[in-house]
Amino acid sequence: MQMEYPYQQYMYSYPHKTAYGPLEGIHLKDYIHRLAGKENSLYFHIPFCQYKCGYCNLFSEAGSSEKRMAAYVNALERHAGQIAGILPREATFSDLTLGGGTPLLLSESQLNKVFSLAKETLGFQTQGHAIAVETSPNQTTQDKLSLLKEEGVTRISIGVQSFQEKELLALHRLHTAETAHRALAAIREQHFSCLNIDIIYGIPGQTADSLTDSLRQALSYQPEELFVYPLYIKPETSLARQGTSPSPTAFSLYQRARDFLQGEGYQPYSMRRFVREGHKNYHYASCGFGSTLSVGCGGRSYLGNLHFCAPYAVRQEQCRNILTAYMEQEDYLQITHGYLLSPEEMKRRYVIRHLLFGKGIHRQEYEKHFGGSPEQDFPMLEEWASSGYVSLGKEFVGMTEEGFALSDALGPKLQ
């Protein structure tokens, strides 16, 4: 596959959040039973950031006051309480994630309250279960890390993106390399079982040497995982508004990063995710038929074929309006925005989520749930196999190393 920039969009799941629209006559009580007796994830969305990064097109609000964040946590309490009132007794959660935004912008008392909502209101059991929290260098303090350790957090994911000052400025990141080093040292002092460091490639002015240097500095902390992302210039972001163009060398930079990380003992489990050899206790969202229940404004819930969330926006004025509406909401159980997948779309979602991550599609499991074979339902898999992107094994249909490298170009063709 020859192209200057072989990336279309981040491929995590199906359908894309921009496909969601108005729903009528949908109430959570009619779908919540799907959590019973299955592997479920619990997610709390904290949509606050110190500032908006130049490439960020996530639902978040920058520069919020303490009062506004306190009001949001109170809304989370009402939201979780209403869910608890209809939650099946048999519903359990295998993992908990606090994402955003930047969850550690919350005060310690607010963070304690969020964990309490997960544990006491929604019944999440910490013992033996994964708990992940996202953070940024400027918000990573000793006191908050100690709090996370006490709450049983197992995985910290920190968005460093680069250790080069010029590259951080190009991304509109307002932390410094020194701040990132202090944050990483503090995280390691707490001995969390999994540290993930995010690094971006394709930054304006970035070279193969500067990328390798950032990766080398990241590896000095022996992270269990690294997520290595291409820089996407998405509509409505500040980089898009200033006319920044994607780097024509992004693909070669990815290849350099992949080869370097493999040489250092990190193996790819997707195009982005590299895991240190020997590290088995890593957390990652289930790719099977497990459901995700999200609390908060901006988090997506997946209950079988029902996907739902608040309306999506990037511009700050729109985000503020949506967030204000959420905090003033009285009924959190009426689902008004989302997507209902058809049986064919459920099959497509399954293939995308399995093919692009880990070992791939398990043939027996696929046949059990859908009948037939992946190649019969998606003939392009045979074309990709002949091109060297897919391996059609007896047990799994999975991406080759070259296929992983092109996931964000191949994935959209399955939609």
| Residue with the larger pLDDT of the pair 284 and 64 | 64
Instruction: Return the pLDDT at 7.
Output: 66
The answer, as to whether pTM is greater than 0.85, is: yes
Give the chain's mean pLDDT: 93
CA 147 to chain centre: 23
The answer to whether the 17-276 and 343-414 domains have the same CATH topology is no
Instruction: Provide the pLDDT confidence category of residue 286 given band limits of 50, 70 and 90.
Output: very low
pLDDT of 4 over the 80 cut:
no
CA distance 338 to 308: 4
Domain ranges of the chain: 17-276, 343-414
- The fraction of the chain above a pLDDT of 90, given in percent, is 83
Range with lowest mean pLDDT among 138-152, 288-302, 390-404? 288-302
Per residue in 111-132, pLDDT tens?
Answer: 999 999 999 999 999 988 999 9
- Classify burial at 356, counting beta carbons within 10 Å of its beta carbon; exposed 0-12, middle 13-18, buried 19 or more: buried
pLDDT of 145 over the 60 cut:
yes
CATH of domain 17-276: 3.20.20.70
Per residue in 23-65, pLDDT tens?
Answer: 999 999 999 999 998 789 999 999 999 999 999 988 999 999 9
Per residue in 74-113, pLDDT tens?
Answer: 999 999 999 999 999 999 999 999 999 999 999 999 999 9
CATH of domain 343-414: 1.10.10.920
Per residue in 341-380, pLDDT tens?
Answer: 999 999 999 999 899 988 899 999 999 999 989 999 999 9
Instruction: Return the pLDDT at 357.
Output: 86
CA distance 353 to 375: 16
Phi-psi region of 258 (alpha: psi -120 to 50; beta: other; left: phi over 0): alpha
